[in-house]
Amino acid sequence: MPCDANPFNLLCKCKGCRKIGICSHILLVTHEMMKGLPKREQKANCNLKHMLGGIAGATTKRGPPRRVKNCLQKESSSDDSDDGEDEW
């Protein structure tokens, strides 16, 4: 699949590349290959430092961590239930 971030049409055998057509391995190799080219031939979308930079005006919103609740409840005792039905 042709892509602007992969001008050398590199292929990788990893799962990510097979699924979406590009992966971190291809991006890294492309970045290193672009460093060796003259400045006029380098592309900004192949520069990993540029791509990983912050977006102007973007803020990170961090709330409290999510807590996963256990779906299995401790049973208090089987003598407490008078109706004889099993409780979930």
Chain-centroid distance, C-alpha 75 = 39
| For range 34-61, the mean pLDDT | 77
Residue 75, SS3 per DSSP = coil
Task: Output the pLDDT for position 78.
Answer: 54
Task: Output the pLDDT for position 7.
Answer: 86
> What is d(CA 17, CA 26) in angstroms, rounded to the nearest whole number?
8
| For range 20-38, the mean pLDDT | 87
